[in-house]
Chain A
């Protein structure tokens, strides 16, 4: 009995420390993370944090495409209520028609295409200041600690989600990110004996989680949410969604 009480006190203190470190967990009702609870165990407090920076590191074009798909999946969860998203990039290859697969409404994504890194950082900071956005996606290959801390301070005020796509970063130094992901493609899943290419599957590695466990997830996109592959799941998929072309 006494031990349980002690544990509770320690839990409370831990949460207090986290919030002092700028790590805010909003109560479950406010935070719309249904569909992302799959990844929750890897994070402190067993909830997917939304107020902060998530980095997606990719080392090849295929990994970039996989990260794009993974981000689309996260965005589709965040943008369910119709709130807009801003996608900032210096060399964008994202193809809007594909987003429908991730039940993402591209009409409420605003793309800002820029020429140089200076503008990119300025616009990213301005976008992070804006309230009422579902998320800010920014393709920043190189991010140093000072810049990321600047962004973090802005986010603590505006409570926005930042998803940074880092393709071929020169140095992976310490940043204030909540999590650093690496998404790589996995062979797609098909029911036994079916031809064609199936649902996109990925290996989502959490290289770094602030105050958390980290981990590796094997997931696929079921058409409306992330799921972990299990034999029964595959059978349950409607065939017409698997087959295309």
Chain B
């Protein structure tokens, strides 16, 4: 298939950007400056400044000498790259493959232009959109990256090179249009080779000897004899759906309908492949150039549009449509193979792997966060605080059971609390204890159960646990930390029995 590329050049990117923000500077000479070797240099000049003889790389003092009333603003490092990336992202509404190059953007428009009624209308649409927002641009469509780049910089303006005609389009251009280093261009000019047609017929060996391999590569790439890598700013996922809106969308209901349509299409494709969705991201491209996005995740692969819609519905209120959204993309960032159970006439008794439960947990995770959901498994540890561990997912099983379950309290205090105790003799349960000002006299007791600390994890005293029951039948879990009557021994309550 013939590849088609659109290259757009922004000759006055920085000054155009400033003019959009300060329209009163429109008709005046303006430069963007940056410090270099202790001097202020002109980095970018606008059309008016250019016309009066100011060019890039000139010291600011000289420029001021030429034009007295010069508007000056400072350059911010990285602004140009950021602007270009923003423009490349904006262009995603015209093609899914978009990238940046110095001073311009490059789009792979293969198979896209017919949606706008042919390349001519497509190019006109894009250029008029950019020009109406205030940018000066030159653009060209060609079969190769090299030719479209050359024509956008050195061509007449909006040009379309018919397929396989790039050879003729390139011939009258200057050698600089081949994207070669300045010193080679200079050398070519010095020899009078100031048009590509003058040297393109020369034997390859001669060109290589005089100008190096680079020139040959660039010529071959521009002509389409050699391939050139195109690196888009966003990678295209296998499962991605796009929905362009006839008119910008602003209401929650309309966003909901858009998501529903995208989900229907995406789920149908996933179903055919036998896959289920684990992670998905929705992006909305607003008409003011901003992108808004929201994401969902599921516990188990799902291809049910109704369930996925419920997850997105929780996020719709967070989407700010601004002036309106003109394009939605929904991409499946993570998919998994899905086992489709045979349909049952009666919904049977289900365990942890049931679909409704997984869907419920997805909704909860979407609303209050994943950290709120816990499932506990036994851990091989005597120490009460470390007796349980969190399960990573719904299917994990530790394979062991809880140690000594008979005398563990049903409610464990997050931190043991101090109590006052009367204990008659060492290693006997206490006679009474006072907890939160209430006196409990102990009628029945079990223990002690001595738990030693894991010395390789932490330091501290051992604990002697007692299960006690008071005169009313309330049951508690008490412990003495340290030996009886030792200096640092103390009594604590750690839990309540059922």
Contacts and interface: CB of A to CB of B under 8 A. Distances in A.
B164 interface: no
Interface stretch (B252-260, B270-278, B315-323, B398-406): B398-406
B439 interface: no
Of A61, A97, A243, chain B has the most CB atoms within 10 Å of the CB of: A97
Contacts of A122: 367-368
A100 B387 CA distance: 13
Contact size class for B?
35 or more
A100 B405 contact: yes
Interface string A49-86: 00000000000011011101110100000000111101
Given A82-B351, A127-B360, A132-B350, A112 B375 contact: no
A186 B473 contact: yes
A97 B388 contact: yes
Nearest to A202: B498
Contacts of A244: 404, 406-407, 446, 467
Interface string B454-488: 00000000000101110011110000000000000
Contact of A113 (B347, B356, B374, B474): B374
Size bracket of the A interface? 35 or more
B498 A110 contact: no
B473 A185 contact: yes
B379 to A, nearest CB: 10
A46 B407 CA distance: 35
Contact of A107 (B368, B391, B497): B391
A94 interface: yes
A70 B406 contact: no
B202 interface: no
A221 B368 contact: no
A110 B408 contact: no
A66 B412 contact: no
Q: What DSSP secondary structure best describes chain A's contact surface?
A: mixed
B11 interface: no
Given A109-B375, A130-B356, A200-B475, A94 B411 contact: yes
A235 B361 CA distance: 46
A123 B447 CA distance: 41
A70 B467 CA distance: 19
B372 interface: yes
Given A100-B405, A132-B349, A188-B475, A93 B356 contact: no
B117 to A, nearest CB: 48
Interface in A141-197: 184-188, 190, 195-197
B443 interface: yes
A190 B408 CA distance: 18
A119 B446 CA distance: 41
Contacts of A190: 444
Contacts of A108: 351-352
A131 interface: yes
Given A84-B351, A221-B498, A123 B364 contact: yes
A130 B376 CA distance: 21
A25 B444 CA distance: 43
A166 B199 CA distance: 91
Nearest to A96: B376
Contact of B498 (A72, A93, A100, A123): A72
A126 B365 CA distance: 12
Given A66-B498, A68-B411, A132 B374 contact: no
Contact of A185 (B349, B357, B413, B472): B472
Contact of A83 (B351, B446, B465): B351
B495 A95 contact: yes
Contact of B410 (A94, A123, A131, A184): A94
Given A130-B356, A132-B354, A197-B467, A245 B410 contact: no
A123 B368 contact: yes
A130 B347 CA distance: 12
Given A62-B496, A107-B377, A111-B376, A97 B475 contact: no
B354 A187 contact: no
A84 B372 contact: no
B408 A98 contact: yes
A214 B293 CA distance: 56
Interface of A: 61-62, 64-66, 68-70, 72, 81-84, 86, 93-102, 106-115, 119, 122-123, 126-127, 129-133, 184-188, 190, 195-198, 200-202, 221, 241, 243-245
28 contacts: A61-B411, A64-B496, A66-B498, A83-B350, A93-B414, A97-B388, A97-B402, A97-B404, A98-B408, A100-B405, A101-B498, A109-B376, A110-B374, A111-B376, A119-B367, A123-B364, A127-B364, A132-B349, A133-B357, A185-B498, A187-B472, A196-B467, A197-B446, A198-B444, A200-B497, A245-B446, A245-B448, A245-B467
Given A100-B401, A200-B498, 7 more contacts: A83-B351, A94-B410, A97-B404, A113-B372, A132-B349, A185-B473, A244-B404
Interface of B: 347, 349-352, 354, 356-357, 359-361, 363-364, 367-368, 372-378, 384, 387-388, 391, 397-398, 401-414, 443-449, 465, 467-469, 472-475, 495-498
